[in-house]
Structure 1
Amino acid sequence: MNTVFVHASRSYEVKIGCGLLKTLGQELRKIAGGKVLIVTDENVAPLYLSEAYHSLQGAGFSVSTTSLPAGEGSKDIKYYVNLLNLLCEKNFTRSDTLIALGGGVVGDLTGFVAASYLRGIRFVQIPTTLLAMVDSSIGGKTAVNLKSGKNQVGAFHQPALVLCDIDLLSSLPPREFLCGCAEVIKTAILFDRRVFAHLQANGTDFDRTYVITRCIECKRDVVCEDEFDTGRRQLLNLGHTVAHAIEKLTDYIIPHGEAVAIGCAIFARAFASDAEQIEQLFSQFSLPLTTEFSAPTLANAALSDKKRLGDSITLVVPHCVGNCSLRTYSVEELEDIIKAGL
């Protein structure tokens, strides 16, 4: 087992290894008491809810559970309010804990509920997807979507603990696993040529513990330097300006990871000296590189992006693997940049 220490507004541990779900109760007992509510979804519940429940119950916790519909549609104000009302009904206090058992949707929603209920209660992330392990479960960004776009309402709220049980990845459908690989590749492009080379050499048989740990360490370093996303942390948005536009335009039919792969490929073709290597690695993982949408359509959909400031927008520019920077462009220039990469 590997442990990554995150020192932000709340310090916490991220544990990476096999068989960690069964240790949930004893790990939480080290930092908390009181009641626990496990939030999961209809896909994860039949697989892992019982083990999580009994681990917590065995450690002496009073445990309740709730299950959401699977998919991006649950990352919605309606489910946010429903969870707040459920906590009120169960008389949760600041000494109690929320557990997010699922992928990024469950983690983002549960985290936002934890951030706002009683002005903030403890929550624990147990990511069940590769994408959530290497990205959304780390760093404290929580949010729900609005009709106007992704993550339009949210808060920064660090978890108290993150358990990345690699065994849980065995139940992922192949497409969802590959979506997580898109975020892994994105992280390698940003920060780590060695991980990039390891992925080139090993494909989907990459060393899970090594790669996940390195991705978490890279994100940890950025979060600790810029917790509230005012500077360097924005690098983590590589490919996301176009990705969020694609998700919005397809009503989230295109999974986030595939949209990120397309977004990274477009910006690599527009800027990177080694764009061909980047494209080849995404292709090696059976991830898409192109979209049917035109540059004007994508640019218009991207204008609700949080990185827009008035008439300008901050973009992550990939110069080559391991060398990316933040640059500000006018919103008029965005269309030309996207067009250059299509």
Structure 2
Amino acid sequence: MSQKNCYILGIESSCDDTAAAVINNGVILSNVVATQKIHEEYGGVVPELASRAHQQNIVPVVYQALRKANIDKKELSAIAFTSGPGLMGSLLVGTSFSKSLALGLNIPLLDVNHMQAHILAHFIKADGQTAPNFPFLAMTISGGHTQIVLVKDYFEMEVIGETIDDAVGEAFDKAGKILGLPYPGGPLVDKYAQSGNPKRFKFTKPKVSPLDFSFSGLKTAVLYFIEREVNNNPNFIAENLEDICASIQYTIVDYLMDKLKNAVKQTGIKEIAIGGGVSANSGIRNALVNAEAKYGWKTHIPKFEFCTDNAAMIAIVGELKYKNGLFASNNVVANARMKI
């Protein structure tokens, strides 16, 4: 089959978003995401509910992706799917569906590492997005991961720094919960932070090794700070919400940038890419733009639709694997704790 007619269907189901996308030669023809609203009332993702919702959503989402791409399933060249890391019940839905569809259509199967996909999303051909040159440093920041990765080639990556406890996205969401914001709190912290004074309240940055992260202490510090201030003034949060959010966000972003600066110093690599849900945060995006001018870095910031969990990033990895003949067997299994 010619490259021009090579269509890869990407399927993503690692957490609580059911997504499907079709790619052709690096260009996304469709990118459909069904977000599960049911978790909002529980203040976090409930794994059993997530897997049930995936079962309900996966057929209509794939149908819509094929329809928007204006192709028939018989025109597909291969099926790419997220095999890990993620919630096991959620991964099993996508894995089982993808294996069945590939078998039924008699086309190759391509297993994709979710965290590699966040990094390789930069290679999607899209307006305003340029692909990084190898080698580059990638910082993956999400609700489940915080890592600095040395990317030597498409499938040659080395984690050189990571969190020793909680992920940055969890820290943002927990801060939002402490402030009484609805789930997920991270995007709301970002929203209020944009109108606040980032230097109003000071939080100590955790001290660990130069390239590693820690967020558990910061979450505790925010909790104790809020409890103390609310005891003195019951209206403290309402009266200072924007400044509190701005100060928390400033501390987290400054901490992330400290680690990136350490990584650049250690490796000598000044080409930087970010990926994962927290890469949609305005604070980190602005900090990277400023770093480009201040330190002479070349920074790559993904388009918003490629930040949170989506199938376009699964499709681009699938296409790269397809072109390199890196197919999976039908015995492939999901792996909730897969490493990058």
TM-score bucket of the superposed structures, by smaller chain: under 0.3
Greater Rg over alpha carbons, structure: 2
What TM-score, normalized by structure 2, do the two folds share?
0.27
